Amino acid sequence: MQVKIIPEPNEEVLVIRPFEQGAEPGNQRMFKGEKGELWWYSSNELWLGLGKTPKLPAITKIFRSLFFKRKDRWPVSITLDARGKSAEWVGNAVNGIVLGGYDLQLYKTEPKPLSTFFETGTLFVAADEGAIVQQSAENALKTGRVQKRIMDLMNAPSNYKKPLMLAEWGKQSGEANGYSVEVLEKDRLEDLGMHALLAVNKGSTDPPVMIVLEYIPEHYTQTVALVGKGVTFDTGGISIKPSANMHLMKSDMGGAAAVLGTVELAAQLKLPVRIVGVIPSTENVVDGSAMKPGDVIGSYAGKTIEVIDTDAEGRLILADGLHYAVKHYQPDVLIDLATLTGSIIQTLGYEAAGLFSTDDGLADALLEAGERTGERLWRLPVWDEYKEEISSDIADIKNYHGKPMAGAIVAAKFLEVFTAEHPAWAHLDIAGTAFGDIEFAPGRAGTAYGVRLLISYLSKLG
């Protein structure tokens, strides 16, 4: 799909005219402008209701839903009448239109047809400010394409995304988009002393990796390190999960996916910020060699960890990833993302991710980015009073407190130990937002949560 900005609507193709509730023309009985309401004013003119004073993230969802529901019926050329709308409004609309063409049929031998509009079609946008709107639309187009790639990655089953396959995805992206990728394989991890990552991997026949991405723009003043949890499948290990929804654990690399997508998109948009992505990746499965509850393991930071629950494995591999990022890159800002705890879903449901940080400025900037993009966050405490929950009798720290309360907070306190007291660190628990109930699937599917959030945050640093 290509986007062209024009001064007036192209009446020779289908024209979509969006109207807010209370601002629509014509017969009130026939069209009220309610959110998602459609009215065919003529065979070549579709009116779309936006509801009352919609926020920008709502614009993305409205267009995403509209284009997805009719994804097999769109003509090859469409005009969006966006006269009087801001460049940012147009960007959100275009992003929604691109996402509306997402096709979940990854491995079907006879997939249902998808309109050619999404691949080779043209979206004409009638708008007032040509150059500014064109740039916003182009950025939205790139963003949507990256999000769709990340959705594919999230929705792929674990036999199609082993840790080494995840690394290969990163290398191909780096080659295509001009950033460097280093893959630390098992021998190298052993030499470095990545004991926590290696311990989680002990039950798997597929070796672990640490994927290190580095995007360096021509000019920059800040370095941001992003660390993403890359558990490509999580059985829970010896502390095994119930079988009912275990198939969804193919999504336990949502943090890694967000980091991969953010670095790829940042390189395409040429953001003036140096970005380092660190992704520890492994399966967490079961065999006779698997890590056991009660084991004491080491870590790259040199601290010993008592393993109370092998299903609290994400924080173990993040411990090595966080310390590696701090030690080797000395970033100005350190952010980790992980589908880490069921506790955060119990707390916030599927509408927001948990934000943990002792840096008020960083927390506020991330919260604002969440509101701008609709990838919302809610801040929770990381007070030192919670430290005793991870105190161990026989090791420096334990990985789980075993109590039915404050699970997400205790996990954050565990991670904090491995940040070397970095002054600008934030942890995002995205367990409820990375894989959710959306229109793309009758069940749950990947959302690409984190990509727009982080790009919005990073864009304000340049």
**Which of the residues are catalytic?**
241, 315
Tell me: is residue 309 an annotated ligand-binding position: no
252 is in an annotated binding site: yes
Spell out the long-range contacts of 368-373 with Cβ–Cβ below 8 A and sequence spacing 24 or more: 369/453, 369/454, 369/456, 369/457, 369/460, 370/453, 372/56, 372/57, 372/456, 373/57, 373/452, 373/453, 373/456
Q: Is 191 annotated as a binding residue?
A: no
| Single-letter amino acid code for the residue at 412 | A
Residue 313 is assigned to a ligand binding site: yes
> What does R_g of the chain's alpha carbons equal in angstroms?
23
Instruction: Tell me the C-alpha distance between 105 and 427, whole Å.
Output: 33
Query: What CA–CA distances, in Å, run from 256 to 82, 344, 362, 375, 453?
Result: 36, 18, 21, 17, 15
Q: Are 151 and 456 in contact (CB under 8 A)?
A: no
What pairs with residue 124 in β-bridges? 4, 79
- The string of DSSP codes covering 396-415 is SEES----SS-HHHHHHHHH
Beta pairing partners, 123: 3, 78
- φ, ψ of residue 409 in degrees (nearest 5): -70, -45
Q: Which residue intervals of 351-430 are DSSP H helices?
A: 360-373, 407-416
Question: What is the token pair recorded at 223?
Answer: 């370095």
162 belongs to an annotated ligand binding site: no
Pairing of strands 377-379, 353-357: parallel
C-alpha span between 138 and 149 (Å, rounded): 17
Q: Which of 225, 232, 94 is nearest to 153 (CA)?
A: 232
How far apart are alpha carbons 444 and 251 in whole angstroms? 10
Residue type for 385, please? E
| Sign of the dihedral through C-alpha 414, 234, 429, 342 | negative
Binding-site entries = 229, 234, 252, 311, 313
